[in-house]
A and B are shown apart, each in its own frame.
Chain A
Amino acid sequence: MKYTKALITSSFIAICATGALANDSVTIAVQLEPPNLDPTGGAAQAIDTVMYHNVFEGLTRFESDGAVVPSLAQSWDISEDGLTYTFHLAAGVMFHDGTAMDSADVVFSLDRARAEDSTNAQKALFESIASVEAVDPLTVKVTLSQPNGSFLFNMAWGDAVIVAEESIADIATNPIGTGAYKFSDWAQGDKIELTRNDDYWGEAPAIETATFRFISDPTAAFAAVMAEDVDAFAGFPAPENLPQFDADPRFTVLRGNTEGETILAMNNKMPPFDDVLVREAVSHAIDRQAIIDGALYGIGTPIGTHFAPHNPDYVDLTANSNYDPEKARALLAEAGFEDGFTTTLKLPPPSYARRGGEIIAAQLRDVGIEAEISNLEWAQWLEEVFNGKDFGLSIVSHTEPMDISIYANPDYYFQYDNPDFQAIMTELEATADPAARSALLAQAQTMISEDYVNGYLFELAYPTVVKAELQGMWENQPTASVDVTALSWAE
């Protein structure tokens, strides 16, 4: 009896010490559920949204402003020739299963990612690595085949996180990382729960349990936030409702930017889009501002090339493809399509694509191009468009940071094959000098803009609705992530 009383008293004190009971948990809604939980094996951004920096950590990591900072690697030395990176790992880091994280795990992770049979979605990140050696348990030496100015940046991606050989078999359903949160439960179709890792090597985060809920329907999203069922909605799907949250003192609205270049993808190998005149005509037929206003209620920055406008190396090339339906008609006539043509417009589920698709179809119809809309689910889209390359037009947002290099891959779904561009990318990989890199990036941006590879629409904005008392939500998305470690409740 006495014992029970003591227990009750002590737990009461514990509750008082951490403030109100509700204040150490957080429920965050996002639109998309990850297909699996392995950031090193899947392309879906939804995986990183939940896992990045919460469960898994890499050698370096992105901060909310896009800066690359030390993570598992506390410091590093770079050799004079830029070919050897010696990483000094943090001491005392444990995986969630209790095994120690040491240089062998780094060697394993990097070798696994760059292996011949690797399923890593971003293998290009690891292409310049020649060898990875463990010098001692806390030191790893990475040798590059050629200098790579963006190597530390590459290592910050969710695709480059450090995993353990012991737990790799089940990583897709039971992820074991080194992060401040452990994966605890996944109710498929509903939510994923993370709990605080009390053995975390770094600074302990404020939030004890985090629940990620998946709500893709805009109406349900609006209702969930209004009813305060969720504490935050990262990537709110209905921009038309944001003014209502602005006016409501219970909420704060963050209108952040993403690395999401939203493009009207054109199948560069399929007629008639193999003709640059047709692609140019399509680009001139599109009124970007109308799409931003109509589909996104004004949040979004027009882009003229595949590059993030907030990046210092961005070149504004929107003038190359200004809205000019007359010119579009003339170009179509020049290409031999006086009477226009019919093509497909395959749209994935996000509202920017569905709504943008309707607007773009109307704009294309105006110049004589009949785009037949078909609405696809993500799995269908990946199968038909991304892997099957069976499409004329599609709309999608490429949310990976600094992903202009996808244009150097002739097998990528829009199938742009230009040796000159590929040469620029190869040169860029080998260049470490910032000024030279800027020049090369400008050249690359201009080239794809002038080749009218795709219709460049806008940089996707990232609206987040948060309860006014919840602090630390990332406003911008330098990488897809909801960083729970940064969150805390105001007293």
Chain B
Amino acid sequence: MKGLWIGIVLTVVFLALALVSFVWTPFNIEAFDIPNKLKSPNVTNWLGTDQYGRDILSMIMMGARTSIAVALLAVGIGMAIGVPLGLWAAARRGSLLDELIMRGNDLIFAFPSLVIAILITAVFGAGAINAIIAIGIFNIPVFARLTRGAALSLWERDFILAARVSGKSAFRISWEHIFPNILNLMIVQGTIQFSLGILAEAALSYIGLGAQPPTASWGRMLADAQTLVSFAPHTALMPGGAIVLMVMGLNLMGDGLRDVLDPRIRVDRT
């Protein structure tokens, strides 16, 4: 339980930082202040300044916004497409359609996700939107598989049988009975995928394929800090720490939520 609370606190802090950045940041990160570059953390700039004299705390707040937006939308794409696909496959279990959907998902799953994300952004151009699409595509099979697996076992249950006997279509059963029962699972998986999305966004912008300047991004802050790390370590430690804390928070929260929400684990305990 402790982990869950630490996770929730960390996640809420970063969400709050991202939300606050819409109305206020300590400094304007679009105004470069070259004479003040590479200042160590101090009273004015709590986390120091970067190579262009921008306030790193403000950068991290703006970067949190980018990271969260990209990861959230990517998970959203994965869920919006993956869950219905999984439900559909489960409803038509054993049919050719089921095979087609699941083998198609296996095909996407077979590629290392980051490599394909690099390919997508290299072909269609670097930018936040393409990063979202690239990361989103790789969330589809995750959700499709999970949904199908969970839905298959539900289809054998008596209350579903009752619904079938009463004449409900497979579509209505999936939507009204199966989906609500696997929602817990989706929330848990969504949290985990969200943290992977944050990492993927950081990785893509680290190699210059994510959000483009002047949009702040943790990954690019790290990339920019590479040659500075030996004499201005805070430029790398701050965005690196932000990524670690955010991802750790989401993972702790995901694990904790699973303990609380996942019916299978709950059953095991009793």
Q: Report A's interface with B, CB cutoff 8 A.
A: 218-219, 222, 238, 240-241, 243-244, 290, 293-294, 355, 358-359, 361-363, 365-366, 373-375
The chain B residue with its CB closest to the CB of A243 is B231
CB-based contact A238/B214 at 8 Å:
no
CB-based contact B52/A358 at 8 Å:
yes
Segment with Cβ contacts to A, from B9-17, B30-38, B94-102, B242-250: B30-38
Q: Which residues of B have CB within 8 Å of A366?
A: 31
CB-based contact B214/A240 at 8 Å:
no
**In the assembly, what is the distance between CA of A238 and CA of B32, in Å?**
20
Q: Which of A244, A294, A359, A375 contacts B231 (CB 8 A)?
A: A244
The chain A residue with its CB closest to the CB of B52 is A294
Give the residues from 22 to 66 in chain B that come closer than 8 angstroms, CB to CB, to chain A.
Answer: 30-32, 34-35, 37, 51-53
CB-based contact A293/B34 at 8 Å:
yes
Contacts A373-B213, A374-B212; A218 near B32 (Cβ below 8 A): no
Q: Which of B51, B52, B208, B226 contacts A375 (CB 8 A)?
A: B208
CB-based contact A294/B37 at 8 Å:
yes
CB-based contact B31/A362 at 8 Å:
yes
| Sample of 27 A–B contacts (CB below 8 Å) | A218-B227, A238-B227, A240-B227, A240-B228, A241-B227, A243-B231, A244-B231, A290-B32, A293-B34, A294-B32, A294-B34, A294-B37, A294-B51, A294-B53, A355-B51, A358-B52, A358-B213, A358-B214, A359-B52, A362-B30, A362-B31, A362-B214, A365-B30, A365-B214, A373-B212, A373-B213, A374-B125
Give the residues from 177 to 230 in chain B that come closer than 8 angstroms, CB to CB, to chain A.
Answer: 208, 212-214, 226-228, 230
**In the assembly, what is the distance between CA of A294 and CA of B53, in Å?**
9
Q: Is B126 an interface residue (CB 8 A)?
A: yes
Q: Which residues of B have CB within 8 Å of A363?
A: 32
- Closest CB-CB distance, B167 to chain A, in whole Å? 57
**In the assembly, what is the distance between CA of A373 and CA of B51, in Å?**
18
**In the assembly, what is the distance between CA of A242 and CA of B226, in Å?**
14
- Closest CB-CB distance, A323 to chain B, in whole Å? 12
| B: number of interface residues (CB 8 Å) | 20
Q: Which residues of A have CB within 8 Å of B126?
A: 375
Known: A355-B51, A362-B30, A375-B126. 9 other contacts (CB 8 A): A222-B227, A240-B51, A243-B231, A293-B37, A294-B34, A294-B52, A362-B214, A365-B214, A375-B212
**In the assembly, what is the distance between CA of A314 and CA of B112, in Å?**
56
Q: Which residues of B have CB within 8 Å of A365?
A: 30, 214
**In the assembly, what is the distance between CA of A431 and CA of B214, in Å?**
49
- Closest CB-CB distance, A460 to chain B, in whole Å? 18
- Closest CB-CB distance, B34 to chain A, in whole Å? 4
- Closest CB-CB distance, A272 to chain B, in whole Å? 21
CB-based contact B212/A218 at 8 Å:
no
- Closest CB-CB distance, B160 to chain A, in whole Å? 53
- Closest CB-CB distance, B232 to chain A, in whole Å? 9
**In the assembly, what is the distance between CA of A41 and CA of B158, in Å?**
80
- Closest CB-CB distance, B39 to chain A, in whole Å? 14
CB-based contact B230/A244 at 8 Å:
yes
CB-based contact B35/A293 at 8 Å:
yes
- Closest CB-CB distance, A2 to chain B, in whole Å? 57
Q: Which residues of A have CB within 8 Å of B51?
A: 240, 294, 355
Q: Which residues of B have CB within 8 Å of A241?
A: 227, 230
**In the assembly, what is the distance between CA of A290 and CA of B36, in Å?**
11
**In the assembly, what is the distance between CA of A290 and CA of B51, in Å?**
12
The chain A residue with its CB closest to the CB of B212 is A373
- Closest CB-CB distance, B129 to chain A, in whole Å? 14
The chain A residue with its CB closest to the CB of B53 is A294
- Closest CB-CB distance, B131 to chain A, in whole Å? 15
**In the assembly, what is the distance between CA of A374 and CA of B126, in Å?**
9
The chain A residue with its CB closest to the CB of B224 is A355
- Closest CB-CB distance, B28 to chain A, in whole Å? 10
The chain A residue with its CB closest to the CB of B32 is A362
The chain A residue with its CB closest to the CB of B227 is A238
Contacts A294-B32, A294-B51; A361 near B214 (Cβ below 8 A): yes
Q: Which residues of B have CB within 8 Å of A219?
A: 226-227
Q: Which residues of B have CB within 8 Å of A218?
A: 226-227
**In the assembly, what is the distance between CA of A243 and CA of B38, in Å?**
14
Q: Which residues of B have CB within 8 Å of A361?
A: 213-214
Q: Which residues of A have CB within 8 Å of B125?
A: 374
Q: Which residues of B have CB within 8 Å of A238?
A: 227
Q: Which residues of B have CB within 8 Å of A375?
A: 126, 208, 212
**In the assembly, what is the distance between CA of A222 and CA of B31, in Å?**
29
Q: Which residues of A have CB within 8 Å of B31?
A: 362, 366
**Max chain A Cβ within 10 angstroms of own Cβ: one of B125, B214, B227, B228:** B227
- Closest CB-CB distance, A388 to chain B, in whole Å? 16
- Closest CB-CB distance, B252 to chain A, in whole Å? 32
